[in-house]
């Protein structure tokens, strides 16, 4: 009985240790990503501005979209039309405010997918001279993954600073192992 109690104690200590290390890693990796002020991250000799949490206007798996698309919205009328189209056939929440004098809306969707397991995220923006790149990460499931058999439409809408030059999307693709 003494050995059984010792094993349980060791298992609890090990589990607590793993949980603590995992929490510390999450804090170190993600802790600053949700602060209200923009932070800079060095990537490939360029600076990427991470978006504050308040910049994310919509992230969903169930938007009413068909084909993959990326779009920059620069005016209130186009923003209202996009918002209505994303919620077609269902009650739309109130239109989030955007200050188009200083900001634009970046919209991206992977289009309709026949299974789950797909994700789309905007990780930040990167200035290249006068231009602004919106950095997208598309995550797709590995071929051997068991996936829910339900249609999804990974879609993200964020508010980003406007730029005097061109605005474009940069897409990074990654495969999620199961």
Q: How many helices (H) and strands (E) does the chain have?
A: 2, 9
84 with 65: CB under 8 angstroms?
Answer: no
> What are the tens digits of pLDDT across the range 109-120?
988 888 888 899
Question: Which distant-in-sequence residues (6+ apart) come within 8 Å of 48 by Cβ?
Answer: 40, 41, 42, 123, 124, 125, 126, 135
158 — phi, psi (to 5°)? -135, 160
Query: Averaged over 66-90, what is the pLDDT?
Result: 92
Rg (alpha carbons) of the chain, rounded to whole number: 21
Residue 47 has a pLDDT of: 65
What would the two tokens of residue 91 be? 């009650």
- 87/33: higher pLDDT: 87
112 with 60: CB under 8 angstroms?
Answer: no
pTM of this structure:
0.70
> What value does the mean pLDDT of the chain take?
76
Which residue, 147, 118, 100, 125, is CA-closest to 59?
118
What would the two tokens of residue 44 be? 């490939």
Which run of H or E residues covers position 9?
helix 2-30
- CA 51 from chain centre, in angstroms, equals 10
The β-bridge partners of 124 are 135
d(CA 175, CA 12): 34
> What are the tens digits of pLDDT across the range 8-48?
333 333 333 333 333 333 333 333 332 223 333 444 445 67
User: Is the pLDDT assigned to residue 172 strictly greater than 90?
Assistant: yes
């Amino acid at each position: 009985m003494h050995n059984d109690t010792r094993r349980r104690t060791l298992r609890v200590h090990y589990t607590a240790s793993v949980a603590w290390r995992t929490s510390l890693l999450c804090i170190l990796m993600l802790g600053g990503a949700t602060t209200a002020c923009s932070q800079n991250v060095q990537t490939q000799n360029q600076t990427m501005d991470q978006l504050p949490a308040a910049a994310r206007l919509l992230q969903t798996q169930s938007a009413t979209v068909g084909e993959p698309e990326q779009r920059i919205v620069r005016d209130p009328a186009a923003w209202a039309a996009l918002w209505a189209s994303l919620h077609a056939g269902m009650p739309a929440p109130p239109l989030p405010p955007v200050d188009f004098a200083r900001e634009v809306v970046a919209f991206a969707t992977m289009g309709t997918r026949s299974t789950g397991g797909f994700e789309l995220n905007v990780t930040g923006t990167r200035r290249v001279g006068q231009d602004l790149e919106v950095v997208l990460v598309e995550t797709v499931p590995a071929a051997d993954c068991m996936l829910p058999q339900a249609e999804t439409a990974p879609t993200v809408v964020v508010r980003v600073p406007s730029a005097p030059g061109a605005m474009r999307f940069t897409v990074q693709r990654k495969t999620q192992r199961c």
